[in-house]
Structure 1
């Protein structure tokens, strides 16, 4: 069990690194990206002129946005588990599976007039496709504003109306603020939590949750995340703790069981009051898809409402 948890934690850490790199809209080398916060304007990179009619999306979020805007325009998608059991995407060709690199031959065979990649994760295949003369675009989504801007940009690229989706996004957010303190923990060794410069941190801010790691900075190799000591968690003493399961969708019981063995765990008010909640990786850490974001927002509403009415 412990070995399985270690592998799960490593998978989460790796995936956080990937999503940290998977979401900017400049085609600069990764080393030139100052940070992974999605405060950059997604329109800073110009899309190819004209309305795209055959789009291949190398990230699940971009694929879903294009599909929701105009499903006739999407001809190839990434093989994310988010689409695995979704009948709407069954007949759309997969050009990659899991963390495997996209199959360039499959992409070219689809004759796309636009390929959308994710900054840091899709840079190499995007550059190769550019050399073949195929129009490309890199995306980055790490906060709510960049999600809205990306939706507008992609809508413009396929001559679609973004407003229905933008209105849907607004419905994900709460009607009233929730003033409650919380920590999101994605791993145990090290204890890793998102600050304000991450999708998860920005989502908590949209709910007006007091993210106790929001302003913290550290030497974590993952931008937007900070490492915390047991003493720091105990000092923060959040009212709510959110644990994140693995990117593969496996149960995060290993992380919870491990934390239960720590002496500080039983001293936290969130633990004493049974305000510990488990969320899926997609939606909270990695936006993943529109439905994943919706699900995470609904779960946040329920968790915070339960904690508030305790």
Structure 2
């Protein structure tokens, strides 16, 4: 169940925010990749001719960005567990819930002058809305720079000032960059999946100068930006720090960690011997999810990586 969920959740997330990065077939070091802006080609967009006043957002991250740029412009959102108990969004109509596709009739009824979708996930409803003459915009986020560029683009579309939000992003990052201990992030147990540098998680680790042991690896994982590791590879890497990702639904943190402890290789690792095992939420580290989720992940990275350095 855990394996099936994490593969499904990662596939959805990476199509929404990371948009599968093509992986090679062998685990060989690759040339360094610099951060790039990951906003789709605007030629394929149907953007509004004037500043948008009524926006429907089809992803949790764009929902949060639009709300914080100018909450008066947000007239419809997609259902998300991140906002389930958030009073900010309780009175905003939902155009979808859970894993169901957005309801086009509900969207049209809201009379939006801009619908923001997610590349790789919202393409079909966005194409249908375009046929109806509704302005649309598809987004991608798989690096810190693309998060900043997306914020600027959305601010421009709704005639808002992005600077306060961009300034807030800066507070998430460490003031002083130091080389952190060697780190391995484990997002799944069967198979063992770890993020390389082509994922949001990999990019975030790089921002904190964490030595991501999977950064340069490429493999045959079904999910772009992630590599499949054997137990032997994990033992060979022998990380000083291990970050275990707790899935958004299903097992508790304790259950996920206990499951890894049953693996024969677990007790052989220096991270285990030195008690440098940290549990992170799926949202923020693997899936950006929301601005608050990103902030919490960054705060935990600051705290745990600093603690690991002191041991």
Normalising by structure 1, we get a TM-score of: 0.92
What residue in structure 2 maps to residue 23 of structure 1? 17
Give the Å deviation of 1:263.
1.8
What are the superposed Cα offsets for residues 134-192 of structure 1, whole Å, 9 maximum, x if unpaired?
11110000110000000000000000000000000010001112422101101111000
- Judge conservation of contact 2:38–2:142 (CA < 8 Å) in 1: no
- Judge conservation of contact 1:11–1:247 (CA < 8 Å) in 2: no
Give the Å deviation of 1:264.
1.2
Q: Secondary structure at the match of 1:226?
A: strand
- Judge conservation of contact 2:21–2:198 (CA < 8 Å) in 1: no
Distance 1:16 1:308 in 2: 30
Which 4+ stretches in 1 moved above 4 angstroms?
A: 33-38
Give the Å deviation of 1:260.
1.0
- Judge conservation of contact 2:239–2:270 (CA < 8 Å) in 1: yes
Q: Secondary structure at the match of 2:263?
A: coil
What residue in structure 1 maps to residue 261 of structure 2? 260
Distance 2:288 2:251 in 1: 17
What residue in structure 2 maps to residue 302 of structure 1? 303
What residue in structure 2 maps to residue 121 of structure 1? 121
Structure 2 gap segments, 5+ residues each: 24-32
- Judge conservation of contact 1:43–1:150 (CA < 8 Å) in 2: no
- Judge conservation of contact 1:55–1:73 (CA < 8 Å) in 2: yes
Give the Å deviation of 1:246.
1.1
- Judge conservation of contact 1:178–1:304 (CA < 8 Å) in 2: no
Q: 1:151 to 1:35 in 2, by over 3 A?
A: farther
What are the superposed Cα offsets for residues 70-115 of structure 1, whole Å, 9 maximum, x if unpaired?
0000000110011111111111111111111111111111100000
What residue in structure 1 maps to residue 4 of structure 2? 10
Give the Å deviation of 1:35.
4.3
Within the alignment, does 1:39 sit opposite 2:40 as a pair?
no
Distance 1:181 1:264 in 2: 17
Q: Secondary structure at the match of 1:11?
A: helix
Normalising by structure 2, we get a TM-score of: 0.91
